[in-house]
Structure 1
């Protein structure tokens, strides 16, 4: 059902999914892919799985919940925290 999280050919899909997080103030295009890759890999595996499953693979939150053996509301909260952490990490990397 799920592709491996280390599928390096899916960076474009991950970048498209990151657009759902909203713009990062002062974001530069150069190096964006590298920053996104680094930020994503720095997240805990459960957060990476949540983002990957819903935003890259296009699964519903209910499918994520089933995969992680969680209540759908808990899976939605996990996904929201994961997206916020990814956005914060991208902002942190941008400031460097």
Structure 2
């Protein structure tokens, strides 16, 4: 299985001059460390200790930016919560 390439994702963000505050970086880092999909709830639970004021709306807006850049993939089916995974592999 190909390894997710966080460094390549970061290069794309910097090349497009997209702001990368600490919470957004942590979100991207989390997704690229996973072997599969994660929900927004999973992400919030994983990052809440580091960022106690992190809200789901912040995660959703960051995921939208990452999706538009092609850095994450969204999987949604029926009425289930969407799931996200890293889209760049080495």
TM-score between the two structures when normalised by the length of structure 1: 0.36
Greater strand content:
2
Q: Which has the larger radius of gyration?
A: 1
TM-score between the two structures when normalised by the length of structure 2: 0.38
